[in-house]
Structure 1
Amino acid sequence: MSLLIDSETLGASRVVRVQRPNDIKLTLPALVLLLLFFVLPVVILLTRSVTDPSLGFGNYVALLGSMTYLKIFLNTFLVAGVVTVISLIIGFPVAWALVIMPGWIASVVFAILLLSMWTNLLARTYAWMVLLQRTGVINKILIGLHLIDKPLALVNNLTGVTIGMTYIMLPFIILPLYGVIRKIDPAILQAAALCGAGRWQCLVRVLLPLALPGMAAGALMVFVMSLGYFVTPALLGGTANMMLAELIAQFVQSLVNWGMGGAAALVLLVVTLVLYAVQLRFFGSNRLGGR
């Protein structure tokens, strides 16, 4: 591969051609691993969605034509959307606070965020089961403050799933937002204030538009991860509030319904790719990186 450098840039009278090594040779081992351990299994699974138990689209018809399965799809997208919105509402002020707070305090908050990410997912989910149950700390505090008369049902429903997943997803939206907000020149906000903009106007008309690429990147990450989450919905939601990842696991674990599992996986994959394409269309790869 070669790179052409304009002579005007170099201040010379000719074009200089710089030779670079062939990058494909350097990435070949990674591409082979990706092909063998990701692309090939996905292709096999998706092929079985139209060949198992018989050739055709019967699995997709059964999946999309059943009210039971449609309810699972609705639960999945509803929870993923609510978790994404709540994560944005909580994550944006936290990211902004990380930018403006003193360095040592920001370091402590970062350590807490990273610690929550490094803690075992199963342990965090069980901790929320203890906190949210009828005799848990949250219900006891609410009753002690006389905000409720009897314990709330916060587990084995979508409320518990939303609370647990929001806690887990928050770091994944705070960190991209922090990276984008940190690059915003404070002089821009100062200039807006000098021009007569109030705090609310500075937030809505200056800070939010500049931080939009980070918000979009974080929201996409949280939404896509929420669509495919399994452990937290299974433990906090129960069988009556199943989500799509649990349905796929049931199909595959039975070892006799790979076709339906592949069909459900393909639907999830298509939704993910469409969301990513929409984001690239409106923000582009450079803006998603905050540049």
Structure 2
Amino acid sequence: MTLAANASETRLEARRTRAASGLVYALPALILVFVFFVVPVVALLMRSVLEPTPGLGNYAELLGSSTYIRIFYNTFVVSAVVTVLSVTIGFPVAWMLAIMPARWSTLLFAVILLSMWTNLLTRTYAWMVLLQRTGVINKVLMGIGLIDQPLALVNNLTGVTIGMTYIMLPFVILPLRGVIKTIDPAVLQAASVCGATRWQCLTRVLIPLALPGAAAGALMVFVMSLGYFVTPALLGGTSNMMLAEMIAQFVQSLVNWGMGGAAAFVLLVVTLAIYAVQLRLFGAGRLGQGG
């Protein structure tokens, strides 16, 4: 009994030593997070309840105004649609990248990375040119007889959705490609040998195995879409404002840090809640595999 107790105590002491050593190594990162994230968030929260007068008046005004509720609605609907479109389009692209010959896969992967590295403002202005009433897209659609009049594709949420989906696609394709490449082709072959159709192989084998990558990509796209500023500002216009534009207007134009802080804090809480739900559904380990 004494030997067993001593061994248990030794293991416990070694575990404590490793934990303390790990904390020492993580201390610089924890300090950076505290200084550059925790402190600003707390300061923003304090301003949201102290300016212009102490209390929850900013939150009451923000959540009680139909104008602001409409902006929240625009933000969440566009973010959700962009996420669904990005996953729907990104999945077959990621699958193609995973199974095509290495030379062509590398070339296409380089094109996708190049699109990510291109300046965001440049890509958004390019979409403004393509989507305008005299742009290439409307001219092509009219030329082949699909439409008689140019479509309104800019200064509305349609243009915002198209532009943001294009920009967000790589953030779905990259994690999905990584997960799909780890799937053993023999698993799909075994399912086929056992009598599964192609549709069953897709829906009951491939998609469940690739779900961590899709979840990681969808979470990244949705969270980034909630706080996107440049593309909605240029393609949406003032009549289709989203939350990031409203926060910028409060802070820069109206110099109302209280309302801006309240809107930003509501956005942060919603983002953390969505992340918590996704962790609950998929677990940190599976999301880590996808990311």
The separation in 2 between residues aligned to 1:88 and 1:219, in whole angstroms, is 7
The separation in 1 between residues aligned to 2:253 and 2:141, in whole angstroms, is 42
The separation in 1 between residues aligned to 2:170 and 2:152, in whole angstroms, is 27
**Which AA in structure 1 matches 2:147?**
I
Q: Equivalent residues in 2 for 1:212-227 (5 A)?
A: 212-227=211-226
The separation in 1 between residues aligned to 2:37 and 2:216, in whole angstroms, is 23
1:246-287, Cα deviation, whole Å (9 max, x unpaired) = 000011113631111111011100111011101111111111
The separation in 2 between residues aligned to 1:88 and 1:281, in whole angstroms, is 20
Residue 38 of structure 1: CA displacement? 2.0
Residue number in structure 2 paired with 1:281: 280
**Which AA in structure 2 matches 1:96?**
W
The separation in 1 between residues aligned to 2:138 and 2:159, in whole angstroms, is 13
The separation in 2 between residues aligned to 1:290 and 1:209, in whole angstroms, is 13
1:14-43, Cα deviation, whole Å (9 max, x unpaired) = 979586571222232222222222221111
Establish whether residue 196 from structure 1 lines up as the match of residue 192 from structure 2. Answer: no
Establish whether residue 31 from structure 1 lines up as the match of residue 30 from structure 2. Answer: yes
The separation in 2 between residues aligned to 1:84 and 1:253, in whole angstroms, is 29
- Change in CA separation of 1:32 and 1:246 when aligned onto 2, cut-off 3 Å: same
Secondary structure of the residue aligned to 1:44 is helix
1:60-106, Cα deviation, whole Å (9 max, x unpaired) = 11001101001100100010000000001100000000110000111
Residue number in structure 2 paired with 1:54: 53
Q: Gaps spanning 5+ residues in structure 1: where?
A: 1-6, 8-13
**Which AA in structure 1 matches 2:152?**
A
The separation in 1 between residues aligned to 2:162 and 2:246, in whole angstroms, is 21
The separation in 2 between residues aligned to 1:287 and 1:185, in whole angstroms, is 17
Residue number in structure 1 paired with 2:3: none
1:145-200, Cα deviation, whole Å (9 max, x unpaired) = 11111111100000000000000000000111111111111111111100111100
**Which AA in structure 2 matches 1:45?**
L
Residue number in structure 2 paired with 1:102: 101
Q: Equivalent residues in 2 for 1:259-278 (5 A)?
A: 259-278=258-277
The separation in 2 between residues aligned to 1:224 and 1:115, in whole angstroms, is 23
The separation in 1 between residues aligned to 2:44 and 2:206, in whole angstroms, is 44
Cα-Cα RMSD: 1.8
1:197-254, Cα deviation, whole Å (9 max, x unpaired) = 1100100111111111111111110000000000000000000000000000011113
The separation in 1 between residues aligned to 2:78 and 2:254, in whole angstroms, is 28
**Which AA in structure 2 matches 1:88?**
V
**Which AA in structure 2 matches 1:192?**
A
Residue number in structure 2 paired with 1:10: none
The separation in 1 between residues aligned to 2:60 and 2:46, in whole angstroms, is 16
The separation in 1 between residues aligned to 2:281 and 2:44, in whole angstroms, is 32
Establish whether residue 156 from structure 1 lines up as the match of residue 170 from structure 2. Answer: no
**Which AA in structure 2 matches 1:81?**
A
Secondary structure of the residue aligned to 1:80 is helix
The separation in 2 between residues aligned to 1:41 and 1:185, in whole angstroms, is 46
Q: Equivalent residues in 2 for 1:1-291 (5 A)?
A: 20=18, 22-254=21-253, 256-290=255-289
Identity %: 73
Residue number in structure 1 paired with 2:4: none
Q: How many residues align?
A: 279
**Which AA in structure 2 matches 1:208?**
I
Q: Which runs of 4+ in 1 moved over 6 A?
A: none
The separation in 2 between residues aligned to 1:184 and 1:85, in whole angstroms, is 23
Secondary structure of the residue aligned to 1:289 is helix
Secondary structure of the residue aligned to 1:290 is helix
The separation in 2 between residues aligned to 1:282 and 1:129, in whole angstroms, is 38
The separation in 2 between residues aligned to 1:69 and 1:201, in whole angstroms, is 45
- Change in CA separation of 1:15 and 1:52 when aligned onto 2, cut-off 3 Å: closer
